[in-house]
């Protein structure tokens, strides 16, 4: 049974950080979309400021939803680490980094 727990833990240690990175990628993509839509509206002659407002608001709501999803997955990550320590005796001081081929992480600014 212990062996199966270790196999599951190893798989989770790969897929959880990958999911976190993919959510970050989606947030970056939606943010880029927002910038492009607002820039296009501003730079298109004769387009009133109110035009496209509903679209911009939908993009902002999508961004907020992704921030919520990111927080939920981070909490899931913590929950799974706790479960690993409690059930498998795993010594998880620090979660592994995202796979080397994954996207770069954004540094936190204090």
Looking at the whole model, is its pTM more than 0.75?
no
For the chain, domain boundaries: 2-88
Predicted confidence at residue 101, as pLDDT, reads: 47
Could you give the CA distance from residue 23 to residue 29 in angstroms, rounded to a whole number? 10
Q: What is the per-residue pLDDT for 100?
A: 47
Specify burial of residue 41 (Cβ count, 10 A radius: 0-12, 13-18, 19+).
Answer: middle
Q: What is the pLDDT along the chain (110 residues), one digit of tens a residue?
A: 456 677 888 888 899 999 999 999 999 999 999 999 999 999 999 988 788 899 999 999 999 999 999 999 999 999 988 888 777 665 555 565 544 445 545 444 43
């Amino acid at each position: 049974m212990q062996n199966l727990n270790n196999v599951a833990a190893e798989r989770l240690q790969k897929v959880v950080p990958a999911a976190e990175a993919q959510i970050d990628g989606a947030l970056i993509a939606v943010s880029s979309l927002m910038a492009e839509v607002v820039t296009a509206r501003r730079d298109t002659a004769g387009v009133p400021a109110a035009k496209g407002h509903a679209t911009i608001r939908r993009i902002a709501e999508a961004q907020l939803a992704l921030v919520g999803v990111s927080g939920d997955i981070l909490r899931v990550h913590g929950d799974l680490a706790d479960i690993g320590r409690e059930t498998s005796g795993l010594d998880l001081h620090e979660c592994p980094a995202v796979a080397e081929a994954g996207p770069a992480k954004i540094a936190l600014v204090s």
